[in-house]
Amino acid sequence: MIIKKKKISKTKKLPQKEKKPQKYYEAVGRRKTAIARVRLFTCRPFEDEKGKILVNGKPYFEIFSTLELQRIVRAALEKMKSLNRFEASIKVKGGGLKGQAEAIRHGLARTLIIFNPDFRKKLKRAGYLRRDPRMKERKKPGLKKARRAPQWAKR
């Protein structure tokens, strides 16, 4: 005689309410070789933490330790007096810390314009919308660096 055992599930899955995806504005900021993908979320009125800026999943002040770099990251939001109005999720790669901070500022300024086109005039005057094109010059063949020639000796 064969007895079949019933499988008993240990945990019963309850139907979960799906969270609505929060509306966000997205833009890309660049500086030298640093690229920042910025998502700007509008804060809900009764949230605990307002105005948080996450860079690569961490608070921005952990990644940018100096006050100058932190000020650069916040600059576009402070210019529009909307630091506590938004939350930002940023993914940044390439370049150094200063280049990354300026790429974030550029990306935040672009997202603010998508949010409200009236911000454009103020942000443009501050210079936050300009993509700084300065990059390292490439090394040329026969030279030590981009322009540095090998030392010349007469004898």
Q: How far is Cα 9 from Cα 153, in angstroms, rounded to an integer?
A: 84
Residues 6+ apart with CB under 8 A from 131: 30, 31, 106
User: What pTM, to 2 d.p., does this model score?
Assistant: 0.78
CATH class of 24-126: alpha beta
Share of the chain above pLDDT 70, in %: 81
Say if residue 12's pLDDT is above 80: no
49 or 155: which leads in pLDDT: 155
Half-sphere exposure of 128 (CA within 13 A, CB side): 27
**What pLDDT was estimated at residue 66?**
95
CA-angle at 68, arms to 99 and 76, nearest 5°: 70
Say if residue 101's pLDDT is above 80: yes
Residues 6+ apart with CB under 8 A from 97: 63, 64, 69
Q: Determine the longest span between alpha carbons in the chain, in angstroms.
A: 103
Q: How far is Cα 124 from Cα 62, in angstroms, rounded to an integer?
A: 29
Domains of the chain, residue spans: 24-126
Q: How far is Cα 17 from Cα 39, in angstroms, rounded to an integer?
A: 24
Residues 72-76, mean pLDDT to the nearest whole number: 94
DSSP state of 19: P
Neighbours of 97 (CB within 10 A): 15
**pLDDT digit string (tens) for 23-48?**
889 999 999 999 999 999 987 554 55
**What pLDDT was estimated at residue 155?**
82
**What pLDDT was estimated at residue 133?**
87
Averaged confidence pLDDT in the chain: 87
Q: Residue 101 in 3-state DSSP?
A: helix
**What pLDDT was estimated at residue 46?**
47
**What pLDDT was estimated at residue 128?**
94
| Single-letter residue type at 14 | L
